[in-house]
Chains A and B, each alone.
Chain A
């Protein structure tokens, strides 16, 4: 599957390429030895560049420190970072982790596959209701242990994702946007008007994971955010690793091909519809999982928590962090949750602020804080440059080597200058 004779770069991409070339020149030839170096894009771009230039071991060491710090966060409760009085910091940490998980899920849909899902809160709601209806004593359904509800919630939301995705994903992306927007509202209305879902009364005493302290109180209580935060953080790490692997697989390449140019992807033989449904369903499942976690932590689910505005906050999280970058999604999700909790003075205006932020980011920095790492056109150029170099040094052409050191995942951004 070589991409050497990729499509002619679009004018826009060509302009970008030119810009990257200029930047590459300005950084000098000494820095362009690593193939996975990408063109610098402001502060964050050059950070990413420096990060990629680090040896593997240092990257891992740094990551371990970050993860340990993240786990310690609610225990340290750092003075400046901590939330203002009235917002329990451990619970705030859980909320940030919840938003980060949601953003990771939504990033699969919006960031990788380029499908705009404006009703993500609906999947979140379906997951919450799954957990609540299968564990709460208020529900007439059969009851199962809380931890089992997480896979059940994922399966059910995935099913909804497929049901919603199949009619809309055959069409252009715009239809998906409006259908999901409608779906977000419909789930809330159905929760209100279907008696079995108990409307505003809701479900009390949603289950939680097993385990009790020495004095008999449950470890996962509604008021203590720390164990919930740790659980969610662990899930985020696992999901991020899984999603990262997907991103570097055939599926991920297909998604990015679809995002960059759906028609071209289709012509090159990518079964776009299948992969779009996959992206949508996987995103839905992650949303459902975070919904189940949320239901467990809060312990109460009713129809008041799932309005469409929350969906737009989720979208703002992904866009702010950088659509297509999983680390960016985590950062964006945490920020969107954290800012109103830290600065309670502006909490009232959060919807306005994030609405304006969406427009401004799109107009001035559409790649977000941390730009997407893997870009197919860029990859195509890398491969092309490699081949061009080989031919010029008179080596007879054979199989095209994969770009970068370890295949596609690394082969982003600028190639070696021939």
Chain B
């Protein structure tokens, strides 16, 4: 074992370097961009959080629910005549087209989530299968959907789509905020708030919270557990479909069979960061993770560091505060 005792030669020093001036210079643009990404993470994170809150299950296939929505957006917009160049349409026409794409993406994602629940999870629930079985099924389902897409669409990304020309709207601290960032953040926040209201006010939302707290008692109190579970999956799917539209808007060339995977992990990290099972936590965690990832990327000088940073955040949160910033209960969220 002698060779081991010899100290290793020093590593080449360039494997990691901190570019602080660059971060200082781009601080505000990184912040606004990070918030935009964060809003997308938050929408996907909600899907994880809701299902986790109700079933205590990490729905690994949620990233595929999301990517199906992305394909729906791409197909819809391509067939409506959108392409890599800026569309020559009026503002109203563009908005109408985007709303159509949004609705179809939501429908596609929700349908995927619905099918997933019926085909993969329900048989297991009926049998009262152990947790490990659920997790393996989830990852198997994710894998299956991913490779169905691969077989149909091949390995290369879809053609990039430009939805509209981003217009400068505000000028904050010398940094321009464009219409795209504004649309994404505002729309995402509206949807999150609507979801929050739905869960805390509506009858179905009360059912969701009841099942999250105690499924058996909820059933005794007349809540239709199966219907609540399927509703939860569908809500998660709808939000993932919305996230898909914004994702294609933000990263037009990112629609690829394996594209959901890394985003799924980041969204899950966001959910855990905010407190999994907590609706507001998903928003907070998403925005924070978007910011942290963007700062890290600029600080470390390579876009791929975003993923590494998100992962390190996930591990640190689990180490230091596993219940997340806002705590973990969906059931106990305010009525």
Contacts and interface: CB of A to CB of B under 8 A. Distances in A.
B147 interface: yes
Given A167-B318, A363-B120, A178 B268 contact: yes
A196 B269 contact: no
B20 to A, nearest CB: 19
Interface stretch (B92-100, B124-132, B193-201): B124-132
Interface in B135-171: 135-137, 139-144, 146-148, 150-151
A358 B14 contact: no
Contact of A319 (B12, B136, B304, B316): B136
A141 B3 CA distance: 12
A175 B318 contact: yes
A359 B144 contact: yes
A152 B129 CA distance: 40
Interface string B252-287: 000000000110010011001000000000000000
B135 A359 contact: no
Contacts of A259: 132
A380 interface: no
B318 A359 contact: no
Given A140-B12, A190-B308, A362 B265 contact: no
A351 B147 contact: yes
A193 interface: yes
Interface in A161-207: 164, 166-168, 170-171, 173-175, 177-179, 181-183, 185-186, 189-190, 192-196
B147 A352 contact: yes
B139 A173 contact: no
Contacts of B14: 195
Interface string B1-35: 00110101101101110000000000000000000
Given A140-B9, A178-B268, A356 B144 contact: yes
B75 interface: no
B58 A177 contact: yes
Contacts of A362: 124, 129, 133, 136-137, 140
A168 B136 CA distance: 18
Contacts of A114: 130, 132
Contacts of B12: 140, 195-196
Contacts of B79: none
A259 B322 CA distance: 22
- Determine which residue in B60, B123, B132 has the highest number of CB atoms from chain A within 10 A of its CB, and name it: B132
A144 B2 CA distance: 10
A141 B133 CA distance: 43
A148 B2 CA distance: 10
Interface stretch (A91-99, A100-108, A208-216, A307-315): A307-315
Contacts of B308: 186, 189-190
B129 A315 contact: no
A32 to B, nearest CB: 28
A315 B137 contact: no
A116 interface: yes
B319 interface: yes
A193 B302 contact: yes
Given A110-B132, A189-B308, A190-B308, A171 B144 contact: no
A142 interface: yes
Nearest to A166: B319
Contacts of B178: none
Interface in A330-363: 349, 351-352, 354-359, 362-363
B260 to A, nearest CB: 12
Contacts of A175: 272, 318, 322
Given A186-B307, A356-B144, A359-B120, A116 B136 contact: yes
Interface string B49-80: 00000001110100000000000000000000
Contact of A179 (B130, B304, B315): B315
A182 B6 CA distance: 33
Contacts of B133: 362, 366
B148 A352 contact: yes
Contacts of B314: 178-179, 182
Contacts of A148: 3
A387 interface: no
A12 interface: yes
Given A142-B8, A189-B308, A355-B147, A177 B129 contact: no
Contacts of A140: 9, 12
Interface residues of B, number: 57
B137 A171 contact: no
A175 B139 CA distance: 14
Given A189-B308, A194-B16, A179 B318 contact: yes
Interface string B293-335: 0000000001011011011001110110010000000000000
A189 B307 contact: yes
A171 B58 CA distance: 14
B58 A174 contact: yes
A118 interface: yes
A193 B9 CA distance: 20
Given A142-B9, A173-B131, A183 B311 contact: yes
Contacts of B307: 185-186, 189
Contacts of A349: 147, 151
Given A182-B269, A193-B302, A355-B147, A363 B318 contact: no
A371 to B, nearest CB: 14
A147 B15 CA distance: 28
A194 B139 CA distance: 29
A166 to B, nearest CB: 8
Given A167-B319, A182-B314, A312 B143 contact: yes
B109 to A, nearest CB: 19
A144 B3 contact: yes
A115 to B, nearest CB: 8
A357 B147 CA distance: 13
B135 A177 contact: yes
Nearest to B266: A182
B265 A142 contact: no
A64 to B, nearest CB: 34
Which A-B residue pairs are the 10 nearest by beta carbons? A358-B140, A355-B143, A355-B144, A167-B319, A352-B147, A359-B140, A362-B137, A194-B15, A144-B3, A182-B311
5 contacts: A164-B315, A167-B319, A182-B310, A185-B311, A357-B140
Interface of B: 3-4, 6, 8-9, 11-12, 14-16, 56-58, 60, 119-120, 123-124, 128-133, 135-137, 139-144, 146-148, 150-151, 261-262, 265, 268-269, 272, 302, 304-305, 307-308, 310-311, 314-316, 318-319, 322
Given A116-B139, A118-B139, A195-B14, 16 more contacts: A11-B128, A110-B132, A114-B132, A140-B9, A144-B4, A177-B58, A190-B308, A193-B304, A351-B143, A352-B147, A352-B151, A355-B141, A355-B146, A362-B129, A363-B123, A366-B133
